[in-house]
């Protein structure tokens, strides 16, 4: 089966995760795809296939005869799609021999324009896959899932020699819980790759350090006609806190290795307000300084409003995987070699976000990230090409061959 055919089947399965349930997986429908994948893995001939009670799918493609001595190599992708935009009732559309014009999606008056997305010119002649306009497509990361499944099929059918391959599909990556219940020891790999990036020639081994910051403000609400020296307006205090943070250090004004403070939501009234931030930086030192700045700002605003009560709850989410990859850069070097073998120029890039691989690296499984061939993740303009997905499968096969020859 072609990679894109698998992909178009997978995206029709609703797998949106949720930040509000507190369960693992966060939504029960993620089991639907998990069970489909487990059945396919068994049909292909993978061993020890299982779906854990937490929705994690794992299986093993045993080493070919004579290569049993090689360390286990893991290859992973995540099954869920973002909770912020619908991933239900996805209708994948094929745009064959794409001519480079704006892509008019049939629903919600949405258009993927060249003006907004200049990379479209590079896709001319390829077969583009989009959703219909009212949902995400799900290339993040069902493209990765389809590519890994196709890799397994081709390795078996083409009788390509390989060491032990450990295959994994996780739920809840989009809410930062993808490997919260992942059993690294049971997985059986010494090294791994996630397939969860965008461009097919990308190799990502750096990512943000990340923390959440939740601010709760209890104000003092009195009649506005007699409020002088008594009222503490929680919403105004929230604005004061945000205005005290560096104005240019926000996502919309930063790129590359530049970190930021991102105000995700703010809600409230005079008596009570809440603010939800994420804090990001590639440098651990700068990351710690950002957290210290948030603490200082809250403390200073609290001192200026003694009758109010301000609570700051900060929690680290994940760290930069490069800290754990410096002693096993063969993963990066071999990925770049595999990309070059596929006729592409390898591109190193730092992730302005995180992946399961970042957390796995700190759990003892060094795990850089590879591209899927997808674009415009996390919204209705998401797309992927048939040809780029095929290229990713070729790159993965090259990686397997390289490690088989080690």
Active site amino acids: 80, 173
CA neighbor of 190 nearest in space, from 397, 361, 370: 361
Reduced to 3 states (helix: H, G, I; strand: E, B; else coil), residue 224 is: helix
Query: Terminus-to-terminus CA distance in the chain, angstroms?
Result: 30
Asked if 78 and 173 count as a contact pair (C-beta separation under 8 A), the reply is yes
Q: What angle do CA 10, 16, 20 make, to 5 degrees?
A: 160
Residue closest to 259 by CA, chosen among 287, 238, 231, 236: 287
Place of tokens 């296939």: 49
What are the contacts of 293-298 at 24+ separation with CB within 8 A? 293/245, 293/246, 294/213, 294/245, 294/261, 297/241, 297/244, 297/245, 298/215, 298/241
d(CA 202, CA 352): 13
Residue 369 · residue 194 · CB < 8 Å: yes
Give the list of residues 6+ apart from residue 197 with CB closer than 8 angstroms, or none.
204, 349, 351, 355, 369, 370, 371, 372
List beta partners, residue 267. Answer: 274
CA 176/CA 351 separation, integer angstroms: 15
The distance from CA 54 to its chain's CA centroid, rounded to whole angstroms, is 19
């Amino acid at each position: 089966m072609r990679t894109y055919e698998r992909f178009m089947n997978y995206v029709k399965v609703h797998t949106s995760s949720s930040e509000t349930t507190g369960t693992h997986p966060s939504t029960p429908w993620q089991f639907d795809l998990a069970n489909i994948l487990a059945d396919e893995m068994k049909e292909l001939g993978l061993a020890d296939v299982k779906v854990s009670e937490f929705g994690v799918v794992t299986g093993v493609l045993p080493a070919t005869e004579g290569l049993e001595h090689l360390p286990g190599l893991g290859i992973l992708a995540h099954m869920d799609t973002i909770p912020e935009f619908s991933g239900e009732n996805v209708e994948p559309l094929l745009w064959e021999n794409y001519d480079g014009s704006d892509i008019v999606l049939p629903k919600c008056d949405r258009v993927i324009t060249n003006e907004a997305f200049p990379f479209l010119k590079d896709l001319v002649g390829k077969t583009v896959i989009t959703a219909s306009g009212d949902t995400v497509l799900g290339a993040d990361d069902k493209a990765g899932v389809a590519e890994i499944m196709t890799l397994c099929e081709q390795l078996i059918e083409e009788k390509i020699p390989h060491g032990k391959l450990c295959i994994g599909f996780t739920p809840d990556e989009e809410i930062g819980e993808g490997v919260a219940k992942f059993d690294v020891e049971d997985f059986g790999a010494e090294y791994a790759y996630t397939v969860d990036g965008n461009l097919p020639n990308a190799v990502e081994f750096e990512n943000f350090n990340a923390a959440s910051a939740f601010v709760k403000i209890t104000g003092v609400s009195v009649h506005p006609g007699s409020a002088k020296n008594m009222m503490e307006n929680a919403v105004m205090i929230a604005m004061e806190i945000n205005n005290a943070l560096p104005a240019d250090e926000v996502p919309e004004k930063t790129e590359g290795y530049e970190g930021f403070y991102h105000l995700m939501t703010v809600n409230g009234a005079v008596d009570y307000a809440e603010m939800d931030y994420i804090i990001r930086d590639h440098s651990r030192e700068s990351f710690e300084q950002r957290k210290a700045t948030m603490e200082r700002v809250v403390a200073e605003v609290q001192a200026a409003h003694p009758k109010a009560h301000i609570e700051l709850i900060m929690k680290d989410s994940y760290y930069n995987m490069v800290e754990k990859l410096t002693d096993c850069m063969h993963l990066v070097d071999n990925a770049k070699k595999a990309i070059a073998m596929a006729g592409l120029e390898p591109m190193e890039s730092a992730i302005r976000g995180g992946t399961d691989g970042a957390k796995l690296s700190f759990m003892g499984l060094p795990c850089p990230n590879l591209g899927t061939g997808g674009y415009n993740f996390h919204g209705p303009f998401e797309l992927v090409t048939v040809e780029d997905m095929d290229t990713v499968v070729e790159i993965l096969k090259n990686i397997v061959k390289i490690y088989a020859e080690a």
